[in-house]
Chain A
Amino acid sequence: QSVLTQPPSASGTPGQRVTISCSGSSSNIGSNTVNWYQHFPGTAPKLLIYSNNQRPSGVPDRFSGSKSGTSASLAISGLQSEDETDYYCAAWDDSLTGWVFGGGTKLTVL
């Protein structure tokens, strides 16, 4: 359904490092930057990472982003219980001439 592919779920224990993948194509991730969002349902989504690996001010350095080819990843180190929520990736798509999103990954902290 979504242009960018994310695993529907991910999990980890407190203190652990988890990664969430986002797979696309040459028209989106392969040629444009990737952004990541954290979303607690019912609230406004929050920008977590922009331009592949940049953190807005106020975002802890536990969150990091990377990109390689047509895939990107969000890494969360030192996992905390308050990190349990949904995460989305997004990128510009040259074919659409607009933004496309991943289907979202629900992170569970065990």
Chain B
Amino acid sequence: QLQLQESGPGLVKPSETLSLTCTVSGGSISSSNYYWGWIRQPPGKGREWIGTIYYSESTYYNPSLKSRVAISVDTSKNQFSLKLSSVTAADTAVYYCARLGCSRGSCYSLQLYYFDYWGQGTLVTVSS
């Protein structure tokens, strides 16, 4: 059974960089036909896709966050990471990592992928 677990500081100061890691167990992050992503949900608000990465390090970011986001993969540790720079209180949220899978015959287009396994999420608060 695939499992994902987010880890990182629960408190980040304004203007600093938020850094989170997602550790994948029960499967390889280098498996073909899977992407890996980050999603967040601010308190009282809806979920927001942050970005997605393939193990070969092709990345896709939400345009609203693109200038501040970097997602990377460490295949040796079976982990992928999120860095969000210049954070403000608006970046306070529960951050989730997730795997993106696809149906057989539909793996030719990223838009046909769906989040099939998630971590339980980690709350990150931006405050001085």
- A and B held together in a complex: yes
Interface residues of chain A, those whose CB is within 8 Å of chain B, are 1-3, 32-33, 35, 37, 42-47, 50-51, 54, 56, 88, 90, 92, 94, 96-104
9 A–B contacts from the bound complex (CB under 8 Å): A1-B46, A45-B115, A46-B118, A88-B47, A96-B49, A98-B49, A98-B63, A101-B46, A102-B46
Interface residues of chain B, those whose CB is within 8 Å of chain A, are 4, 37, 39, 45-49, 52, 60-63, 96, 98, 103, 106, 110-112, 114-121
A90 / chain B contacts, CB cutoff of 8 Å: 47, 114-115
- Are A92 and B111 in contact, CB atoms less than 8 angstroms apart? yes
- Are A45 and B103 in contact, CB atoms less than 8 angstroms apart? no
B119 / chain A contacts, CB cutoff of 8 Å: 44
A46 / chain B contacts, CB cutoff of 8 Å: 118
B110 / chain A contacts, CB cutoff of 8 Å: 92
A32 / chain B contacts, CB cutoff of 8 Å: 111
Q: CA separation between A44 and B1, bound complex, in Å?
A: 13
Q: CA separation between A43 and B117, bound complex, in Å?
A: 12
Q: Which of A47, A92, A97, A101 contacts B116 (CB 8 A)?
A: A47
For the complex formed, measure the closest distance between the CB of B119 and the CB atoms of chain A, giving whole angstroms. 6
Q: Which of A44, A47, A94, A99 contacts B4 (CB 8 A)?
A: A44
Q: Which of A2, A43, A88 contacts B120 (CB 8 A)?
A: A43
Q: CA separation between A88 and B62, bound complex, in Å?
A: 19
For the complex formed, measure the closest distance between the CB of B64 and the CB atoms of chain A, giving whole angstroms. 9
Q: CA separation between A101 and B37, bound complex, in Å?
A: 14
| A47/B114 contact (C-beta < 8 A), A88-B47, A101-B47, A101-B49 known | yes
